[in-house]
Chains A and B, each alone.
Chain A
Amino acid sequence: MESQAPIASSLRPRTAALSRTGKPPSQPSLPRLLVAAFALLASAACSPRADDAAFPNRPIEIVSWATPGGPSDLLSRALADVAPAHFDGQRVNVMTRQGGAGAAGMQYMQGRAGDPHVLGVFTASGTVNMATGRIPFAPEDFTPILRIQIDPFLVAVRDDSPFRTLGDLFEAAHARPGEVSVSGFGAASAHFLGFVRLRAAAGDPDIRWIAYEGSADAVVAALGGHTDAAHTNYNIVREHLRAGTMRVLGTAMPVEALPDTPSYADQGYDLQPVHWRGVVGPPGLDAGTRADIRARLMAAIDDPGFREYMERAALEYATMEDAEAFGAWMTEEVTTSRDLLQRLGILDG
């Protein structure tokens, strides 16, 4: 299947994620030796740069470690859908590698170091999981390529809620400590930290964070009146906003579709916590390859099909000027999240 001449990649333990320890196999099997010998012969016959020049010379894998059908998984699949035209017609396959809060997929990418044919969708949840140590990797263990989209946080309430603004919500929390609750995805998650930042800007009232397994569950809790508000993303409540069954108190950033909704900053809370998603490569991609993949991805996300997906999922483009800036952003998020979690006493200092 991939016998062309990928000398570097065929010698690498591609399936490190599968061996339990992640260690490369110590004993080369006979077939492996054969492949290695073949690759050596092939490389001798070709020019030294053949590998790079040939990229992409076999199908691209997009590793997905997110919940099937969830927003990150959908991004992987939407990319896989439009990418082939921009990767010289190579097939682009989404490869599911779930487990360990994403660590299984990331481990798999570590095992493919230097191979430009494997990409992964990275999100704000990934950086927070790195900050908590749930994922034993750092942004430096990847080659950041392109941040693609942001998904601003917002605070939504049921239509019959007495709260009209974020101020109302926090005032009530100050007046009745412990009696106002907000539901959202996860504990020590990107969603939680986004809300904690907002709460801190409002003077840290005792407002209960009710953690749920998913954002949709958190919205159900607010819809059912079990919690006072939900902290979530626009696309999850969009239909309820259109139908008037829910209202938004404030959005982290101005949302185009919600011109009348004031942002956090408009209401005096000077912060913009966002959820973002982007593409990273395995470690050890050189600058030239990275620029090449980035350019192809930039073209792919400009594809009408991809634009349609972005619009339908109510997401906003948020590419950064270059891959370095994206990497620096990831590193900074890990640091600030860790600091915040330590201040909250959730992580030991």
Chain B
Amino acid sequence: MGSRSERASPPLRLLVEAGLLAASGAAVLLDSRGYPPSLTEGAPGPAFFPRLLAVLLIASAAWLAIRAWRKGSGAARSRGNAASDSAAGGRAGTRIRPLGVWIAVTWIAAFLLVWPLLGTVLSVPLLVVGLMWLTGERSWRTLVSVPLAFAGFIYLVFMVLLGVPLPAGF
């Protein structure tokens, strides 16, 4: 999703964004058709709230699209907003490498797949070393020592000391 936004010109990017949101709302409406009615007459059933939210989401998406249409410069402003987002400490707007993001997501997903097979002690260092490389670590000494030390920490603290049942592998 992050990379998709890169090539498009600002208003188009916002339109795609609005389209995605509206599609999510539509999917919720579609899903809610299968919900059973309320067990009590007069009281709203399980479909009421999701439908309300979906309609509001579609309306918001429409507003977003209209706004984007009306002033093409809207995108620039929305980028500025990310920086002001206090909660996430977001700092959007810098140039990004979409490929790096996709590789990182794939790497984490691959970790989740092999975790049960290889076990925690073997797979966690692989995850760490890959993410370190992707976030720019290039010192060989660090790339080797940190994942190993971390695996030891996880093993000792989580598995031995606390007895958390993490996947042990094969």
Contact = CB atoms under 8 A, between A and B. Distances in A.
Interface in B96-131: 113, 115-118
B170 A31 contact: yes
Contacts of B163: 93
A187 interface: yes
Interface in B155-170: 163, 165, 167-170
Given A15-B117, A19-B116, A32-B170, A96 B39 contact: no
A132 to B, nearest CB: 11
Given A19-B113, A19-B116, A187 B165 contact: no
A96 B165 contact: yes
Given A93-B165, A96-B165, A35 B115 contact: no
Given A17-B116, A19-B116, A31-B118, 5 more contacts: A1-B168, A29-B117, A31-B170, A32-B170, A187-B39
Contacts of A209: 39
B36 interface: yes
A95 B117 contact: no
B139 interface: no
B40 A208 contact: yes
18 contacts: A1-B168, A15-B167, A16-B116, A18-B115, A18-B116, A18-B167, A19-B113, A19-B117, A25-B117, A29-B117, A29-B118, A29-B170, A32-B170, A61-B165, A93-B165, A95-B165, A187-B39, A208-B40
Nearest to B42: A178
Contacts of A201: none
Given A18-B115, A29-B118, A346 B36 contact: yes
A324 to B, nearest CB: 32
A289 B99 CA distance: 55
A266 B104 CA distance: 66
Contacts of B36: 346
Contacts of B116: 15-19
A112 to B, nearest CB: 13
A35 B169 CA distance: 11
A17 B116 CA distance: 9
A31 B169 contact: yes
B170 A35 contact: yes
B62 to A, nearest CB: 35
A178 B41 CA distance: 9
A215 to B, nearest CB: 19
A19 B170 CA distance: 13
Interface size class of A (residues with CB under 8 A): 20 to 34
Interface string B8-50: 0000000000000000000000000000100110000000000
B37 to A, nearest CB: 9
Interface string A1-36: 100000000100001111110000100010110010
Contacts of B167: 15, 18
A136 B168 CA distance: 26
A19 B40 CA distance: 40
**Cβ-closest 8 pairs across A and B:** A18-B116, A15-B116, A32-B170, A95-B165, A31-B170, A19-B116, A15-B167, A25-B117
Contacts of A29: 117-118, 170
B84 to A, nearest CB: 37
Nearest to A17: B116
Contacts of A25: 117
A61 B118 CA distance: 20
A219 B10 CA distance: 55
B116 to A, nearest CB: 3
B101 to A, nearest CB: 22
Of A16, A19, A209, A346, chain B has the most CB atoms within 10 Å of the CB of A19
Nearest to B164: A96
Contacts of B39: 187, 209, 346
A44 B68 CA distance: 73
B47 to A, nearest CB: 15
Contacts of A18: 115-116, 167
Nearest to B40: A208
Contacts of A96: 165
A35 B170 CA distance: 8
Nearest to B37: A345
Contacts of B115: 18
Contacts of B40: 178, 208
Contacts of B118: 29, 31
A1 B167 CA distance: 13
Interface in A176-191: 178, 187
Of B116, B118, B163, B170, chain A has the most CB atoms within 10 Å of the CB of B170
Nearest to A31: B170
A176 to B, nearest CB: 15
Contacts of A208: 40
